[in-house]
Amino acid sequence: MKEKLKKLFAYYKPYKTLFYSDMFFAILGAAVTLVIPLIVRYITNDVVYFSAAEAKKSIITLGILMIGLVLLEVFCNFYIAYFGHIMGAKMEADMRRDIFGHYQKLTFAFYDNQKVGHLLSRITSDLFDISELLHHGPEDLVISVIKIIGSFVILLTVNVKLALTAFAFIPVMAVFAFYYNGKMKTAFRKNREKIADINSQIEDSLSGIRVVKSFANEKVEMKKFQKGNDNFVAAKKTSYKYMGIYNSGLGAMSTLITVAVLIAGVGMMLKGTVLVTDLITFLLYINNFTEPVKKLVTFTEQFQNGYSGFERFLEILSIAPDIADEPDAVSMGDVKGGIEFRDVSFQYEDNQETVLSNINLKVNAGDYVALVGPSGVGKTTLCSLIPRFYEVSAGAVCLDGVDIRHIKLNELRNQIGIVQQDVYLFAGSIMDNIRYGRPDATDEEVVRAAKNANAHEFIMSFPDGYDTDIGQRGVKLSGGQKQRLSIARVFLKNPPVLIFDEATSALDNESEQVVQQSMERLAKDRTTFVIAHRLSTIRNAQRILVLTEEGIAEQGTHEELLKKQGIYAGLYEMQFR
């Protein structure tokens, strides 16, 4: 816990000035609330016995002083509310930057086992709770401690017996709070897990809203949502039960202090050991130290919320990317694009089954190679090893003779362009989506890339042309249009190595022909890997590799493989029968 708190406090470092000024005004504000009852006591004890003229003069002076103190308290409260929240927001932004930056570093293996809703809740609701703790926590703690200790010291000087009567309840309150703190922490952690589940379910449902509506399954989605929602309410019930016991227990103890002091004070007053004015002072100060006790209740609730959120935040940051640059990783100069697989084997994490086993393959720079075979034999996996989306389990993949593990990851991926079957377009304009291939490209370069990808014509048919908003994931475009934009993106990137992962398998015949032309234009003079189910799209490949569960079973040109009458010929005949 000590290490975690150290990491938590590190976020204050850039905002030391803001933090110390916030603390200063919190202490000043707390001091003002302690001074005002003392002035009231002075008036009731002494000023009332002055002569009329002197009393009037003192009352005016003290009245002005108290108004000044109230205005000072107002300023202090405003400062800690406004600037304290700004500090909290800045720290929240820093944490969001850190976790989002870490998300960018994590590999496909991590995302294969995660739900987006869970990851989203760590960057939204968790961080808000942490920032509330970082902002309110220290000032609430300082204000509460000053008020409680200050009240206790002042009341001891007024009457020792009454002060001890009032503070006798504090140890009981501390034990009570400590016990229910533990209960609340567990409950709050479960709350976060449940809300993350709901976020994940909502994200999943809204992303697939077209599928939901096409099957008229709105009621099914509502049932799934209701189940998660009910689980969330059940978890909340448990946490609110403990919070209710906690708040009502401490509230009752605060009231008991007032009752105990009043009864004891009246008894002492009847014996003549306590003055009425002192009893009034006591009653004023009781509010002054029961109110911070309630504030400590809020702080503990905040602490449970914020700290459990911070633990989840650290959980993500502690996950080291399993694919990263080696300390002595090199830069690549003029990349030709030769790819070689040397005795490569691969299996996914937590899976004993080997997907690829002892693959040996050499593809010269500029070669056009197609991969075919049944689903699940590792065609996509084989190509995913080239940009190091996954790490080989054994052997090595080389680019121009250099093991890709020795090349800087960013530079390696800059040499590879990928066009996938499931095109992902970002919300925004067509121009922005093509420019994603090279963010520093000029408008003219973007237009040239679109023309090369046979996309310029359809783009200009829209009223806003390249500034057309395509909606979330490009919902306003057809499959062929989306695919051509993804090809334009790769044209703009201009890499020496290309991977087409079933880029035309979801398209109609007309769109396929247009996209195929774009792909062939893009593949010219580049090392190209094409994964294809439609064998018609790869007849022109210089080499076709037939993958099975045993590895590369056949290789050759289209005509050579048909003559062999083996696996490829069987697949071809089946598809065109």
Cβ-count burial of 397 within 10 angstroms (0-12 exposed, 13-18 middle, 19+ buried)?
A: buried
How far from the centroid of its chain's Cα atoms is residue 204's Cα?
Answer: 17
Q: Could you give the CA distance from residue 514 to residue 498 in angstroms, rounded to a whole number?
A: 18
Cβ-count burial of 192 within 10 angstroms (0-12 exposed, 13-18 middle, 19+ buried)?
A: buried
Q: Could you give the CA distance from residue 398 to residue 387 in angstroms, rounded to a whole number?
A: 11
96 neighbors 316 (Cβ within 8 angstroms): no
Hey, what CATH topology would domain 85-317 get? ABC transporter transmembrane region fold (1.20.1560)
Q: Where in the chain is the domain with CATH 1.20.1560.10?
A: 85-317
Q: Residue 238 is encoded by which pair of tokens?
A: 């448990």
43-85: per-residue pLDDT in tens?
Answer: 888 887 788 888 889 889 989 999 999 999 999 999 998 998 8
Domain spanning 339-576, CATH class: alpha beta
pLDDT in tens, the chain (577 residues): 788 888 888 888 899 999 999 999 999 998 998 888 888 888 888 887 788 888 889 889 989 999 999 999 999 999 998 998 899 889 989 989 988 888 888 877 787 777 777 787 778 778 888 888 888 888 888 888 888 888 888 888 888 888 888 888 877 877 787 778 778 777 877 887 788 778 777 877 877 787 787 778 888 888 888 888 888 888 888 888 888 888 788 778 878 888 888 888 888 888 888 888 888 888 888 777 777 777 777 787 788 888 888 888 888 888 888 788 888 888 887 888 899 999 999 888 766 677 888 889 898 988 889 888 888 788 888 888 998 888 888 999 999 888 999 999 888 888 888 888 778 888 888 999 899 888 888 999 999 888 888 888 889 998 899 998 887 777 788 888 888 888 888 888 888 898 888 766 656 666 667 777 777 777 788 888 988 877 777 777 889 888 888 888 888 888 888 888 888 888 878 876 6
108 neighbors 321 (Cβ within 8 angstroms): no
pTM (2 d.p.): 0.70
Question: How confident is the model at residue 504, as a pLDDT?
Answer: 65
Q: Residue 501 is encoded by which pair of tokens?
A: 């992962």
Question: How confident is the model at residue 73, as a pLDDT?
Answer: 92
512-551: per-residue pLDDT in tens?
Answer: 677 777 777 777 888 889 888 777 777 778 898 888 888 8
- What's 299-355 look like in SS3? HHHHHHHHHHHHHHHHHHHCCCCCCCCCCCCECCCCCCCCEEEEEEEECCCCCCCCC
Q: Where in the chain is the domain with CATH 3.40.50.300?
A: 339-576
Q: Could you give the CA distance from residue 478 to residue 489 in angstroms, rounded to a whole number?
A: 17
Listed residue (332, 311, 372, 442) closest to 5, CA to CA: 311
